[in-house]
Amino acid sequence: FCQETLFPYIKDNVKEYLRAHWEEEECQQDVGLLRKQAQEDSSLDGAVPIPLESGSGEEELERVIQAVVDNVHWQMSLDRKTTALKQLQGHMWRAAYATGHVKGEIFKDVVPAIRKWREAGMKVYIYSSGSVEAQKLLFGYSTEGDILELFDGHFDTKIGPKVESESYRRIAASIGCATNNILFLTDVPREANAAEEADTHVAVVIRPGNAGLTDDEKSYYSLISSFTELFLPSST
For 29-72, what is each residue's pLDDT tens digit?
999 999 999 999 999 999 999 999 877 789 999 999 999 999 99
pLDDT in tens, 96-140: 999 988 999 999 999 999 999 999 999 999 999 888 888 999 999
- Residue 79: Cβ-neighbour burial (10 angstroms; 0-12, 13-18, 19+): exposed
Distance CA 117, CA 190 (A): 26
Termini Cα distance of the chain:
36
1-99 and 109-229 have identical folds: no
Distance CA 33, CA 127 (A): 22
Alpha-carbon dihedral of residues 35, 37, 43, 49, nearest 10 degrees?
-20
Specify the CATH number of the domain 109-229: 3.40.50.1000
pLDDT in tens, 159-214: 999 999 999 999 999 999 999 999 999 999 999 999 999 999 999 999 988 889 99
User: Does CATH place domain 1-99 in 1.10.720.60?
Assistant: yes
Question: What global pTM score does this model have?
Answer: 0.75
Local confidence band at 92 (pLDDT 50, 70, 90 cut-offs):
very high
DSSP 5: I
Domain range summary for the chain, segments of one domain joined by +: 1-99, 109-229
Mean pLDDT of 1-25: 94
Give me the helix-helix angle, 7-21 and 58-77, nearest 10°. 160
Least confidently predicted of 16-30, 125-139, 149-163: 125-139
